[in-house]
């Protein structure tokens, strides 16, 4: 495994990293899954900060503080809803990783943690999502010194096993 890439199974809201990535919805006002967990752990100030951002388009990323989280920042990105693979879902998911990494670099983040973007209620196929995530991160790390470490945080065993096979 690339020494700059780490895989763990656990709760992204507990990590002491510079930035965690939130698999958000377009409103950025909270939701289910990892989005809801991040909002609950960060506290109401995160919701207030997100209200000021005016939402986020699919594939883009926006930054807030981490508030009550151990992470300094939350990078909110909106993954695509899987619609059979014929609506630029793969490129939009790749953009989530690219834009999140650029925001982390711009904030001089040494460490960033990603959840499994779009693989929950957005139904992106887990294997294909992991392939895209790893390809984009590896490509980015080849040309950038920051972030120094990228952590993929899988909540479920199925995603851990997929990432282990691909790594």
Query: What are the pLDDT digits (tens) for 129-166?
Result: 999 999 999 999 999 999 999 999 999 999 999 999 99
- At 96 the three-state DSSP class reads helix
Neighbours of 53 (CB within 10 A): 15
State yes or no: pLDDT of 57 exceeds 80: yes
| Tokens 């207030």 -> residue | 48
Q: What is the Cα–Cα distance from 101 to 95, expressed in whole angstroms?
A: 10
φ, ψ at 101 (rounded to 5°): -65, -40
147 cis-preceded (ω within 30 degrees of 0): yes
Catalytically active residues, by annotation:
35
Closest CA to 57 of 98, 14, 28, 37: 28
Report strand pairing: 149-154 vs 111-114: parallel
CA 24 to chain CA mean position, Å: 9
Residue ranges of the alpha helices (H) in 43-143? Answer: 44-51, 89-106, 126-143
Q: Domain tally for the chain?
A: 1
Q: pLDDT value at position 1?
A: 47
- Please name the helix (run of DSSP H) or strand (run of DSSP E) that holds residue 19, with its range, or none: strand 19-24
Predicted model pTM:
0.97
- At 95 the three-state DSSP class reads helix
Neighbours of 146 (CB within 10 A): 17
Q: pLDDT value at position 2?
A: 77
What CATH number corresponds to the domain at position 88?
3.40.220.10
Query: pLDDT (tens digit, 9 = 90+) per residue, 5-52?
Result: 999 999 999 999 999 999 999 999 999 899 999 999 999 999 999 999
Q: pLDDT value at position 164?
A: 96
What range does the domain containing 18 cover? 5-166
């Amino acid at each position: 495994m690339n020494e700059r890439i780490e895989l763990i199974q656990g709760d992204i809201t507990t990590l002491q990293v510079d930035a965690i990535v939130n698999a958000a919805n377009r409103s950025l006002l909270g939701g289910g899954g990892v989005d809801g967990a991040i909002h609950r752990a960060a506290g109401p100030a995160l919701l207030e900060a997100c209200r000021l951002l005016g939402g986020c388009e699919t594939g883009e990323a926006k930054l807030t503080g981490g508030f009550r989280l151990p992470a300094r920042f939350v990078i909110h990105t909106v993954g695509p809803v899987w619609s059979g693979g014929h609506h630029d879902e793969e490129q939009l998911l790749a953009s989530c990783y690219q834009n999140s990494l650029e925001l982390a670099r711009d904030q001089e983040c040494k460490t960033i943690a990603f959840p499994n973007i779009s693989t929950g209620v957005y139904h992106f196929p887990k294997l294909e999502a992991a392939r895209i995530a790893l390809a984009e991160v590896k490509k980015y790390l080849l040309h950038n010194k920051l972030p120094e470490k990228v952590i993929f945080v899988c909540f479920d065993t199925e995603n851990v096993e997929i990432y282990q096979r691909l790594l």
